[in-house]
Structure 1
Amino acid sequence: MTPRAIVLFCAASLLGIGAHYAAYAASLSDPASLNEQAPAVYKAKFDTTKGPFVVEVYRGWAPNGADRFYNLVKNGFYDNARFFRVIEDFMVQFGISGDPKISAVWRDANIPDDPVKQSNVRGNLSFATAGPNTRTTQVFVNFGDNAGLDGQGFSPFAKVVSGMEVVDSLYYGYGEGAPGGQGPNQGQIQMQGNAYLEKAFPKLDYIKKATIEQ
């Protein structure tokens, strides 16, 4: 390939990346429009810096949560998102966009609560919540038996069906987040995105890409 051809190839590649990002950002800029009903059962694959893991989602467990998760994964919300809260023997939490502009439009995109039909046992996923009917985009995977969360309204909607060893290996050295601990401050993540995390917490693992498996 000649030098000129290399330059043209690189320019075309950059344009392709820019177009892809523009489409991604546009699809996530209006939460109300991402309201597709999920299949009764589906799988989502997460390619991470530690390897892949797959979750299976059951709409019958928690339909509102399953639908929201389906739309977020399908439209690229979790791509490049950090596992920002990893508490050994408890859970790993993710779901704040690395792009502050995307975070801003989803911050108050709440979904109604689902009744708790399953328990927060090892490998099950639930949405994080700040109180009744406040679930948005953040989810967590239970490392152990956290049945105490059931009575607090945390409704599992999925479980890890392969790659739990990958989930177990995610970096947990920063501990609990601020202000209770020395880990990442969620408010700062919302405002500054990955720029804040890459500078202050560079060891965090992250999702390279999440996809719905057909």
Structure 2
Amino acid sequence: MGSNSFLTTKDKIIQSAIELFNQKGFSGTSVREIAKTANVNVAHISYYFNGKGGLMEHLVSSFYEGYLKILEKGYQCLDEMTAKDCLLQLVFDILSYQHEHRQLTRFVYREVTIDSTLIREVMSTYLTKEKYILHLMIEKGKTNREFSHFPLSHFMIQLKSLLMMPYLQPQYISEVLYLQTHEPYFYQAYFKEMKTWLSSLLNREHESIAVT
């Protein structure tokens, strides 16, 4: 409660919305509940976000704006580093970003699984940009003979699944695997496993058995 008192009214609403959306879902949360948890007047939600729908749009957009900055940083490093090192650094930076914003990440990734106008817009903007940057990295790696040849679409499915899984299935990971996804050690150890997978997939030594 003490740290919350230093937040602006807008930030209090955002923080409370993320908490409640994760606990009760977007549809199961009312603007009155958000206002009560944030200890603000319900009219503030309309003032800052034009209602609950606008609040969700703000959360999703702000998450992907930050995510896009990570991708653009990865794109820029192609001029200075190998494609493999750029890709590994990008994956680590994504995992770090997701961990830093883990509650928001969990909410957004759950919403991305629901077909809606907002999510279709996300797909056509942010996630299309993500595919484009990853495509550039992979093609540079193939051109420079760093990477074996493999279908980009299958690679994207595997990569996105690994990046999103800890936030789509946190209960499974904690209750069945006894791992705590909110701890820094988790994403750092998780990156090491992803690095092993990526290195194995990208290694040209496996080209003879790779699908082209």
Q: Same fold (TM over 0.5)?
A: no
Give the TM-score normalised by structure 2.
0.30
Greater strand share, 1 or 2?
A: 1
Q: Which has the larger radius of gyration?
A: 2
Higher relative contact order (CA 8 A, sep 6+): 1
